[in-house]
C-alpha cells in the first residue's frame, strides 16, 4: 500500500500569504486611470473597494500575515490534500508522477473561497455591511455568499441571466447561504434598466453584471464591490494553495519539474504557481504552464496591451494579455475561463518568459476529464479539465523524451454542478471553438488607440 495523500495538520497551515510583486525581475506597468492616462491612485478606488484591500493590492511587502479570523475559516477545509494520482498515472502509462492539489474539497467546491473569506473579513473590519458582486457560472458568487454569511455581511450577487436560468443549482446554493441573487440585467441599477429598455429579453453578460455590481456598490456608502480574480490582492490570497503544496513537497522530499493550472482570470493558476515562480526567479529549474481554452486564447494569441477589465469600461486600464474588452467568448462549459483578459501578474510573468501558456479545445479537455473521473473517481469542473488535458500532453511528451517527470497541478474544483456538460459530451453534443485570425483581429479593434505598456 503506497502513500497517495500528503497531508498537513491544522497547525501546519501557512500563516502568511506570498506577494510576488517585490520579487518580479522587472517592474510591472501600473494600472492607468482611463480619463487621465495617469497611474491610478489608491484613493481613486476608495468607493469601490475598502482601503485595507486597496493597500494589499499595491503592497510591496513579500509576506502578508493571514488574520486569525481568516485562518479559523480556512481550517474548515484547509490545508487541502496534495494527492498523487496513481490510478490516472497507470492509465497514461508514461514516466510521470502526477500530484494534484485538491481544491474541490471546499464547501462551494472550488478554490474561490480562498479569497472570498479574506475579502469578506477585510470588508467587515473596515465597517462595510454589504458586498456586491457579479457571477457568471456561479462559482465565485457562491463562494462569496458563504463568506459573507460567515462574517455577518449582506451579499448581493448579479448573476448573468442566461446562467441564472440554466444553472439553477448555483443560484440555490447562494440562497442557502443567505445571499440575494439577482438575474442581470436587472431593474436595480441604471445600467441594468438601460439594457432592459433596449431589450427586455437580454440574456445578460459578465460585462453588464460587473457594471451593475459596481454601480450598486458605489451608490451605497455601506457597500463595496468585490472581484473574484484578476487583481493582485485576489492572487495574493490564493497563494495559500501553492504555499501548502510547497510544504507538502518538502515533507516527501520531492520537487515538481512542471507546475500547471488552468487560467481564466488567472487566480487559481497563480495561487498554485507563484510560490514556485519565486523559486524559479531565484534560480531553481521548474516549468510553469498555464492552460487556457482555444476559444478564449488570451495568453497564446492576444497582445500584451492596456485594456479595461470589464466590458462596460468602468475599471482602470490594466496591463495584460487581452483579446479586447469587446470580445465575447463562445459559450463553452468552462464558464470560469471565459474572460477576455488575464491577471496583470500572470501576464507580466508570461511576457518575461517565466510562465508558458498553452491552449486546449473543449473536446480535448472533456476527453481528459472523463479519463480522470473514470480512474481517480472525482469528477472535475470543466475549467479543471483544461489543466488535466495539459497533464496528458505533458505525460505524452515525457514518454516521447523517455524522461521521468514530476508534475504538480491545481485541481481547481469539482464538476458536480456541471454534470450537464458531461452529458452533452457523452452524447456527442459538445463543439469546438478555436478562433480564426480574422475573429481575433476583429475582437482587438475594441482596444485600438489605447495607451501601450
Q: CA 421, CA 429: separation in Å to the nearest integer?
A: 9
Measured from the CB of residue 295, what is the shortest distance to its own copies in angstroms? 23
Of residues 359 through 398, those in contact with its own copies by CB under 8 A are: 370, 373-379
Answer yes or no: are the C-beta atoms of 262 and 357 closer than 8 Å: no
Of 49-57, 81-89, 308-316, 440-448, the segment contacting its own copies by CB under 8 A is 81-89
Partners of residue 159 on adjacent β-strands: 135, 183
Measured from the CB of residue 174, what is the shortest distance to its own copies in angstroms? 10
Number of residues that bind its own copies (CB under 8 A): 51
Cell of 262: 488552468
Collapse the DSSP code of 68 into the 3-class scheme (helix H, G, I; strand E, B; otherwise coil) and give the result: helix
Measured from the CB of residue 307, what is the shortest distance to its own copies in angstroms? 35
Measured from the CB of residue 200, what is the shortest distance to its own copies in angstroms? 25
Q: Which of residues 277 and 373 has its CB atom nearest to its own copies in the complex?
A: 373
Q: Which of residues 54 and 373 has its CB atom nearest to its own copies in the complex?
A: 373
Of residues 118 through 177, those in contact with its own copies by CB under 8 A are: 146, 149-150, 168-169, 172-173, 175-177
Helix (H) or strand (E) run with residue 165 in it? helix 161-166
Measured from the CB of residue 368, what is the shortest distance to its own copies in angstroms? 13
User: Which of 22, 65, 76, 452 touches its own copies by CB under 8 A?
Assistant: 76
Measured from the CB of residue 245, what is the shortest distance to its own copies in angstroms? 17
Q: Which of residues 12 and 404 has its CB atom nearest to its own copies in the complex?
A: 12
Q: Which of residues 176 and 197 has its CB atom nearest to its own copies in the complex?
A: 176
Measured from the CB of residue 63, what is the shortest distance to its own copies in angstroms? 17
Measured from the CB of residue 378, what is the shortest distance to its own copies in angstroms? 5
Three-class HEC string of the chain? CCCCEECCCHHHCCCEEECCHHHCCCCCCCCECCCCCCECCHHHHCCCCCHHHHHHHHCCCCEEECCHHHHHHHCCCCCCCEEECHHHHHHHCCCEEEEEEEHHHCCCCECCHHHHHHHHHHHHHCCCCEEEEEECCCHHHHHHHHHHHHCCCEEEEEEEHHHHHHCHHHHHHHHHCCCEEEEECCCCCHHHHHHHHHCCCCCCCHHHHHHHHHHHHHCCCCEEECCCCCCHHHHHHHHHHHHHHHHHHHHHCCCCCEEEEECCCCHHHHHHHHHHHHHHHCCCCCEEEEEEECCCCHHHHCCEEEEECCCCCCCCEEEEECCCCCCCCCCCCCHHHCCCCCCHHHHHHHHCCCCEEEEECHHHHHHHHHHHHHHHCCCECHHHHHHHHHHHHHHHHHHHHCCCEEEEEEECEECHHHHHHHHHHHCCCCCCCCCCHHHHHHHHHHHCCCCCC
Residue 250 sits in the site that holds its own copies (CB under 8 A) = no
Residue 77 sits in the site that holds its own copies (CB under 8 A) = yes
Measured from the CB of residue 88, what is the shortest distance to its own copies in angstroms? 11
Of residues 4 through 63, those in contact with its own copies by CB under 8 A are: 4-5, 7, 9-11
User: Which of 416, 432, 441, 445 touches its own copies by CB under 8 A?
Assistant: 416
Measured from the CB of residue 71, what is the shortest distance to its own copies in angstroms? 5
Of 80-88, 210-218, 387-395, 404-412, the segment contacting its own copies by CB under 8 A is 80-88
Q: Which of residues 306 and 425 has its CB atom nearest to its own copies in the complex?
A: 425
Residue 255 — left, alpha, or beta (φ > 0 → left; ψ -120 to 50 → alpha)?
Answer: beta
Of 64-72, 254-262, 330-338, 347-355, the segment contacting its own copies by CB under 8 A is 64-72
Measured from the CB of residue 108, what is the shortest distance to its own copies in angstroms? 8
Residue 87 sits in the site that holds its own copies (CB under 8 A) = yes
User: Which of 158, 308, 422, 450 touches its own copies by CB under 8 A?
Assistant: 422
Measured from the CB of residue 288, what is the shortest distance to its own copies in angstroms? 27
Answer yes or no: are the C-beta atoms of 100 and 82 closer than 8 Å: yes
Of 103-111, 195-203, 224-232, 404-412, the segment contacting its own copies by CB under 8 A is 103-111
Of 82-90, 230-238, 328-336, 397-405, the segment contacting its own copies by CB under 8 A is 82-90
> Which DSSP letter does residue 256 get?
-
Helix (H) or strand (E) run with residue 321 in it? strand 317-321
Residue 252 sits in the site that holds its own copies (CB under 8 A) = no
Q: CA 453, CA 447: separation in Å to the nearest integer?
A: 13
Residue 88 sits in the site that holds its own copies (CB under 8 A) = no
Residues that bind its own copies (CB under 8 A): 1-5, 7, 9-11, 68, 71-73, 75-77, 83, 86-87, 105-109, 113, 146, 149-150, 168-169, 172-173, 175-178, 370, 373-379, 416-417, 419-420, 422-423, 426
Amino acid at each position: 500500500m503506497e502513500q497517495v495523500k500528503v497531508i498537513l495538520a491544522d497547525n501546519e497551515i501557512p500563516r502568511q500569504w506570498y506577494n510576488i510583486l517585490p520579487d518580479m525581475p522587472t517592474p510591472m506597468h501600473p494600472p492607468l486611470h482611463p480619463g487621465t492616462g495617469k497611474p491610478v491612485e489608491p484613493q481613486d478606488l476608495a468607493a469601490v473597494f475598502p482601503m485595507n484591500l486597496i493597500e494589499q493590492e499595491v503592497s510591496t511587502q513579500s509576506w502578508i500575515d493571514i488574520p486569525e479570523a481568516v485562518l479559523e475559516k480556512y481550517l474548515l477545509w484547509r490545508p487541502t490534500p496534495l494527492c498523487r494520482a496513481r490510478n490516472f498515472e497507470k492509465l497514461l502509462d508514461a514516466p510521470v508522477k502526477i500530484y494534484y492539489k485538491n481544491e474541490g474539497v471546499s464547501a462551494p467546491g472550488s478554490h474561490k473561497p480562498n479569497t472570498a473569506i479574506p475579502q469578506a473579513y477585510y470588508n467587515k473590519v473596515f465597517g462595510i455591511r454589504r458586498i456586491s458582486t457579479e457571477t457568471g457560472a456561479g462559482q465565485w458568487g457562491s463562494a462569496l455568499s458563504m463568506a459573507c454569511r460567515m462574517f455577518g455581511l449582506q451579499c448581493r450577487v448579479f448573476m448573468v441571466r442566461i446562467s441564472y436560468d440554466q444553472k439553477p443549482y448555483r443560484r440555490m446554493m447562494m440562497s442557502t447561504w443567505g445571499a440575494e441573487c439577482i438575474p442581470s440585467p436587472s431593474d436595480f441599477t441604471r445600467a441594468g434598466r438601460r439594457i432592459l429598455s433596449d431589450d427586455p429579453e437580454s440574456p445578460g453578460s459578465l460585462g453588464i453584471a460587473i457594471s451593475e455590481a459596481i454601480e450598486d456598490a458605489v451608490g451605497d456608502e455601506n457597500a463595496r464591490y468585490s472581484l473574484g480574480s484578476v487583481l493582485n490582492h485576489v492572487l495574493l490570497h490564493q497563494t495559500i494553495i501553492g504555499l501548502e503544496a510547497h510544504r507538502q513537497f518538502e515533507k516527501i522530499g520531492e520537487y515538481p519539474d512542471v507546475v500547471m493550472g488552468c487560467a481564466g482570470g488567472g487566480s487559481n493558476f497563480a495561487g498554485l504557481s507563484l510560490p514556485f515562480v519565486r523559486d524559479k526567479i531565484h534560480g531553481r529549474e521548474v516549468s510553469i504552464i498555464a492552460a487556457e481554452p482555444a476559444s478564449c486564447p488570451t495568453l497564446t494569441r492576444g497582445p500584451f496591451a492596456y485594456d479595461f477589465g470589464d466590458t462596460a469600461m468602468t475599471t482602470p486600464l490594466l496591463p495584460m494579455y487581452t483579446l479586447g474588452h469587446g470580445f465575447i467568448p463562445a459559450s463553452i462549459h468552462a464558464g470560469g475561463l471565459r474572460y477576455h483578459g488575464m491577471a496583470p501578474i500572470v501576464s507580466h510573468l508570461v511576457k518575461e518568459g517565466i510562465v508558458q501558456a498553452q491552449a486546449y479545445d473543449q473536446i480535448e479537455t472533456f476527453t481528459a476529464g472523463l479519463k480522470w473521473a473514470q480512474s481517480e473517481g472525482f469528477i472535475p469542473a470543466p475549467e479543471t479539465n483544461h489543466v488535466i488535458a495539459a497533464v496528458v500532453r505533458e505525460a505524452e511528451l515525457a514518454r516521447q523524451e523517455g524522461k521521468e517527470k514530476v508534475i504538480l497541478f491545481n485541481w481547481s474544483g469539482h464538476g458536480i454542478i456541471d454534470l450537464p456538460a458531461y452529458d452533452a459530451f457523452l452524447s456527442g453534443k459538445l463543439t469546438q471553438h478555436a478562433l480564426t485570425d480574422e475573429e481575433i483581429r476583429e475582437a482587438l479593434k475594441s482596444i485600438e488607440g489605447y495607451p501601450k505598456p
